[in-house]
Amino acid sequence: MKFKLLILLLITIPFTVFCQVKIGDKIDLRSINLNALNNAQLENNKIIVLDFWATWCAPCIASFPHLDSIQTALRNKIQIVAVSDESKTRVSNFLSKRNHLISFFTDENKTLFKLFEIEARPLTAVINPEGTLVWVGNSIHLEEVLHRINSNEQVPTPTQSSLRKYYLDIPKNGDAIYTYQISISDKNEEFEAKTQKGIYLDSAINIYYRGATVVDIIQDLISVSDLQMVNNKFELDTIFINLTSKSSSNKINYKFEKERIIDDLQRVFNFNIKKENKDVQTYSIVIVDDKKLKLNKEEIEGGGMAESKENKFIITRLSLAELASFFERKLRTFVQYKGSDVFKYNLELEKFTNIEELNKQLESKFGLRLEPYLSSVLFIEIN
């Protein structure tokens, strides 16, 4: 009898901050200690849209214009409440440089964040005028959800696996998992980078950085060398971040995703990228004696390297394209190789300071030569 009574009490006691909130639960936001910013107030008898975000979350900030437009269109029916678990001072400083129409609050005690067990953001939740949680998902679907609520239609159930915890019954075969997160890196985190198509056969993206500066990531994603970039925002070289963007679905375009990340970085860290193509003198590696070059071909597989020893450069297992990149760094001028690049070579060169010194060695020893031509090159300027 005591066992049955205990079960009954657990069912009838309202949920606390230690319980995972579920669709259909009642939520009283006024009982949670939220700090209002910019004189915001919770409004009665309206649909409340909770948007969990942070000042370091690029996707969150990128969604604000969309949320602003929804707030404007439905201002008599809804209130969009953006909640961060950061300090009131940090969020206030962030908002002082921006003008948004949605209401901002902080949850410094993390009461609401613990209730929703926030693991990644942004995350959007909808509470109807009766205080019942009716939907959790991505704000890109918010207009459809609000339309259905206002039309007394059934609200769609998200299919992402990451949202399954909010629902008692959710389809098992949903959209492929998609992860996108930008955060500030711990100063002690070791640099790591991976930017390629995903780990699955049909996946589109697997972009991963840890302990990288904002400038490093921009340079990598746009594929420009130091020669092609002017950085007027020096503080970006001192901001280290972690970035993850992965998908097991080929529905997400790899090129589009990289452009989206670059746009989001500009929003979060308040800078602009100017792109311009310019005609510049470039040197191309040309094979002038194929037999001589083949004498230096490496047959053993493995990674390549270039070492500086006394007055020499010892080059091991580099392709001609990799060799062009090495020359470009040393000469501080544009060098490319446009031919077939399937073989790797070993070279030993005396240290050089200009094209003429390098060409004498390349032609006499290895059957190569650097020839000038005019090329259109992409330059970027960060302001």
Same domain, 158 and 115: yes
- 77, pLDDT greater than 70: yes
Residue 109 belongs to a domain:
yes
User: For all residues of the chain together, what is the average pLDDT?
Assistant: 84
In angstroms, the CA 88 to CA 92 distance is 6
Model confidence pLDDT, tens digit, residues 299-308: 877 778 888 8
- 185 and 160 fall within a common domain: no
Task: Decide if 292 is inside a domain.
Answer: yes
Instruction: Say if residues 244 and 207 touch (Cβ distance below 8 Å).
Output: yes
Q: How confident is the model at residue 164 (pLDDT cuts 50, 70, 90)?
A: confident
Among the candidates 224, 247, 271, a domain finishes at 271
- CATH number at 114 reads 3.40.30.10
244 and 307 part of one domain = no
* Token reading at 293: 């070059």
Looking from the CA of 1 toward its CB, the CA atoms found within 13 Å total 0
- Domain final residue, candidates 219, 242, 271: 271
For residues 152 and 209, membership in a common domain is answered with no
Residue 3 lies in a domain: no
Instruction: Kindly state the average pLDDT of the residues 184-208.
Output: 70
In this structure, the answer to whether residues 111 and 190 fall within a common structural domain is no
Residue 8 lies in a domain: no
By residue range, what is the domain housing residue 322? 278-382
Residues 38-60 pLDDT 10s: 888 999 889 999 999 988 887 88
Structural domain contains residue 260? yes
One domain for residues 32 and 123: yes
Give DSSP secondary structure letters for 170-230. Answer: --SS-SPPEEEEEEEPPTTPPPEEEEES-SSTT--EEEEEEEEEHHHHHHHHHT--GGGEE
Task: Report yes or no on 10 lying in a domain.
Answer: no
End-to-end CA distance of the chain: 72
| pLDDT recorded at residue 296 | 93
Mean pLDDT of 274-287: 96
Distance CA 285, CA 287 (A): 7
Q: What is the mean pLDDT of residues 195-220?
A: 77
Nearest-5° Cα angle at 220, 219 to 224: 55
Q: Which residue has the higher pLDDT, 39 or 331?
A: 331
Q: Are residues 26 and 155 in the same domain?
A: yes
Residue at 97 is within a domain: yes
Regarding whether 261 and 286 lie in a shared domain, the answer is no
Does residue 265 sit in the same domain as residue 305?
no
pLDDT score of 2 more than 90: no
Q: Is the pTM of this model over 0.75?
A: no
- Please tell me the total count of domains within the chain: 3
Task: Assign 251 a pLDDT band (cuts: 50, 70, 90).
Answer: low
CA-to-CA distance for 169 and 226, rounded, in angstroms?
Answer: 52
251 found inside a domain? yes
| pLDDT for res 7 | 28
* Residue 15's pLDDT band (cuts 50, 70, 90): very low
| Residue 19 token pair | 């319980």
Phi then psi dihedrals of residue 104, to 5 deg: -115, 135
Last residue of a domain, one of 221, 253, 271: 271
> For position 34, what pLDDT does the model report?
93
What is the reported pLDDT for 255? Answer: 80
**Comparison of pLDDT for 172 and 376, the residue scoring more:** 376
Number of neighbouring beta carbons within 10 Å of residue 151? 8
Least confident window among 109-118, 189-198, 256-265: 189-198
Q: Are residues 45 and 151 in the same domain?
A: yes
Q: Are residues 139 and 251 in the same domain?
A: no
Q: Could you give the CA distance from residue 131 to residue 46 in angstroms, rounded to a whole number?
A: 9
**pLDDT value of residue 187:** 67
The pLDDT-based confidence of 248 (bands split at 50, 70, 90) is low
Q: Which residue has the higher pLDDT, 16 or 222?
A: 222
β-pairing, 205-213 vs 240-247, is: antiparallel
